[in-house]
């Protein structure tokens, strides 16, 4: 089947670019004729809080594509439409994760709907972005009106979309596994390279630092933990907000010697260093649909302590591959961290993660795309 996919890929940074690249790779492995229409430019600096430099990874995820779309040049939207119409694919896969793309996606879906019979399937990383509001939801509904189907990554997003579009064709799945970027290291070697003691527990908070990821609550939990456990925390990722309040909180809580802030985007080949050094990955999110960091942790056989928001509790199985606590509750988070180490839950959780790898296979997503395409055609007839 010929499929057109629109989305970011290398040299753009982050989980959506990785996801798009892997999606196209796995579609091609299944003998689909997949075309990726990517961006000549992604976000203008004015609208983007992070670093807009290219992904610095030497071991980058790459795939053949056409760099054609520019979010602020409408003629490139028309050029993309004409290219898709020329290819005449059996399916157009569009991705939704931020209302920034509303003008582009509205134009593409309008032209596709008016001048072709190509079915449109949306892969929704989240319906409303973290820190979003009513305007974001209005923009999403504005774009979704011409879609033939939707894939969502959490029960919460499924219910939200069903309430808004009662007749829509919606299916849910889990976020597929990410590859293991970089090589795992012996824990003692990884800690030595990072200047960490070999005999103290280590937590890892990984990924872009934004308000909704709840880092403040993790820091506030640490004094309670350290009353019983000489623990270290690595915060590894580019700050998309001011770092100073976090530094001030470290001073206030007397945590400067216990927490290491590494404020930069980590290339793929360096990820193994940080995950190998950690005992457990801690993601105290206040809201989320899914998180690629969970899949990175599982790739390195690291359990996860996270919160009951979005699809995180669907991916991290409580008492099996990690621990789940309420969002915004530092006391509950502290107790979960203490229990993880004092009850020595790591070996049991790691064994379960190894046994559950098939649950996050990409074949499941590709099967779902194929099934939905067949059902969309059946409904259309």
Q: Are residues 369 and 346 in the same domain?
A: no
Above 70 in pLDDT, residue 48? no
Contact 39, 67 (CB under 8 A): yes
Residue listed under structure tokens 């796995």: 26
CA 216, 217, 219: angle at the middle one, nearest 5? 65
Please state the rounded mean pLDDT for residues 257-285: 94
Distances (CA, A) of 184 to 269, 302, 345, 347, 354: 10, 11, 21, 17, 15
Please state the rounded mean pLDDT for residues 167-183: 86
Give backbone dihedrals phi and psi of 229, rounded to 5 degrees, phi first. -145, 125
Above 80 in pLDDT, residue 124? yes
Q: Are residues 202 and 276 in the same domain?
A: yes
Residues whose CB falls within 8 Å of the CB of residue 51, separated by 6 or more in sequence, listed in order: 13, 238, 265
The distance of Cα 155 from the centroid of its chain, to the nearest Å, equals: 16
Q: Are residues 36 and 172 in the same domain?
A: yes
Q: Are residues 108 and 209 in the same domain?
A: no
Above 90 in pLDDT, residue 25? yes
- Note the pLDDT of residue 50: 65
Cβ count within 10 A of residue 53: 9
- Note the pLDDT of residue 213: 94
Least confident of 41-55, 106-120, 280-294: 41-55
Q: Are residues 318 and 371 in the same domain?
A: no
Q: Are residues 75 and 98 in the same domain?
A: yes
* Alpha-carbon span 117 to 120, nearest angstrom: 9
Query: Is 168 domain-assigned?
Result: yes
Contact 121, 91 (CB under 8 A): yes
pLDDT digits (tens, 9 = 90+) for 231-263: 999 999 999 889 999 999 999 999 999 999 999
Above 70 in pLDDT, residue 118? yes
- Note the pLDDT of residue 156: 86
Bridge partners (DSSP) of residue 307 are: 325
Contact 186, 276 (CB under 8 A): yes
- Note the pLDDT of residue 93: 98
Q: Are residues 345 and 370 in the same domain?
A: no
Above 60 in pLDDT, residue 266? yes
Contact 9, 17 (CB under 8 A): yes
Count of domains forming the chain: 2
Query: Is 307 domain-assigned?
Result: yes
Least confident of 92-106, 107-121, 288-302, 363-377: 288-302
Query: Is 181 domain-assigned?
Result: no
**Which CATH number is 35's domain given?**
3.40.50.2000
- Note the pLDDT of residue 381: 54
pLDDT digits (tens, 9 = 90+) for 58-117: 878 889 999 999 999 999 999 999 999 999 999 999 999 988 999 999 999 999 999 999
Collapsed DSSP state (helix, strand, coil) of residue 367:
helix
Please state the rounded mean pLDDT for residues 185-190: 94
CA 194, 196, 199: angle at the middle one, nearest 5? 145
Least confident of 42-46, 94-98, 247-251, 275-279: 42-46
Collapsed DSSP state (helix, strand, coil) of residue 20:
helix
Contact 128, 140 (CB under 8 A): yes
Half-sphere exposure of 302 (CA within 13 A, CB side): 32
Q: Are residues 204 and 345 in the same domain?
A: yes
Q: Which of 218, 121, 219 is nearest to 173 (CA)?
A: 121
* Alpha-carbon span 360 to 255, nearest angstrom: 37
- Note the pLDDT of residue 47: 59
Q: Residue 322 is part of which domain span?
A: 187-359
Query: Is 283 domain-assigned?
Result: yes
Please state the rounded mean pLDDT for residues 273-292: 92
Query: Is 182 domain-assigned?
Result: no
Q: Are residues 158 and 11 in the same domain?
A: yes
Query: Is 140 domain-assigned?
Result: yes
Query: Is 130 domain-assigned?
Result: yes
Q: Are residues 347 and 368 in the same domain?
A: no
Token pair listed for 60: 């980058």
pTM of the model: 0.91
Please state the rounded mean pLDDT for residues 211-223: 96
Please state the rounded mean pLDDT for residues 308-333: 93
* Alpha-carbon span 262 to 217, nearest angstrom: 18
* 13: confidence class by pLDDT, cuts 50, 70, 90: confident
Contact 195, 188 (CB under 8 A): no
Residues whose CB falls within 8 Å of the CB of residue 67, separated by 6 or more in sequence, listed in order: 38, 39, 40
**Percent over 90 (pLDDT), the chain:** 72
Q: Are residues 81 and 166 in the same domain?
A: yes
| DSSP conformation letters of 237-283 | S-BSS-SHHHHHHHHHTT-TTTEEEE-SPPPGGGHHHHHHH-SEEEE
Q: Are residues 197 and 300 in the same domain?
A: yes
Query: Is 220 domain-assigned?
Result: yes
């Amino acid at each position: 089947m010929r499929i057109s996919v629109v989305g970011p890929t290398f040299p753009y940074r982050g989980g959506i670019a990785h996801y798009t690249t892997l999606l196209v790779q796995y579609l091609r492995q299944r003998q689909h004729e997949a075309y990726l229409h990517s961006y000549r430019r992604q976000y203008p600096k004015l609208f983007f809080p992070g670093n807009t430099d290219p992904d610095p990874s030497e071991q980058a995820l790459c795939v053949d594509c056409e760099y054609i779309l520019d979010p602020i040049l409408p003629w490139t939207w028309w050029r993309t439409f004409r290219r898709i119409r020329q290819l005449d694919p059996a399916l157009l896969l569009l991705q939704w994760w931020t209302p920034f793309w509303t003008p582009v996606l509205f134009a593409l879906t309008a032209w596709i709907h008016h001048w072709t019979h190509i079915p449109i399937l949306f892969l929704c990383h989240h319906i409303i972005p973290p820190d979003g509001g009513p305007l974001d939801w209005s923009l999403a509904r504005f774009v979704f009106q011409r879609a033939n189907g939707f894939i969502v990554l959490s029960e919460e997003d499924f219910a939200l979309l069903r309430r808004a579009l009662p007749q829509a064709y919606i299916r849910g799945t889990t976020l597929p596994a990410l590859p293991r970027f970089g090589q795992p290291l012996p824990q003692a070697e990884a800690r030595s390279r990072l200047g960490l003691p070999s005999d103290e527990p280590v937590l890892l908070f990984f990924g872009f630092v934004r308000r909704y990821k709840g880092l403040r609550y993790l820091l506030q939990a640490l004094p309670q933990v350290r009353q019983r456990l000489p623990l270290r925390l690595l915060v590894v990722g580019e700050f998309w907000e001011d770092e100073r309040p976090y530094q001030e909180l470290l001073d206030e809580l007397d945590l400067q010697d216990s927490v290491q802030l590494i404020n930069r985007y980590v290339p793929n080949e360096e990820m193994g260093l940080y995950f190998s050094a950690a005992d457990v990955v801690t993601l105290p999110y206040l809201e989320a649909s899914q998180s690629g960091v969970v899949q990175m942790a599982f790739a390195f056989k690291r359990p996860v302590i996270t919160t009951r928001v979005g699809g995180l509790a669907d991916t991290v199985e409580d008492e099996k591959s990690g621990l789940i606590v309420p969002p915004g509750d530092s006391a509950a988070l502290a107790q979960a961290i203490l229990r993880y180490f004092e009850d020595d839950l790591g070996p049991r959780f790691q064994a379960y993660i190894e046994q559950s790898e098939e649950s996050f296979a990409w074949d499941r997503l590709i099967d779902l795309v194929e099934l939905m395409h067949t059902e969309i055609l059946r409904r259309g007839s």
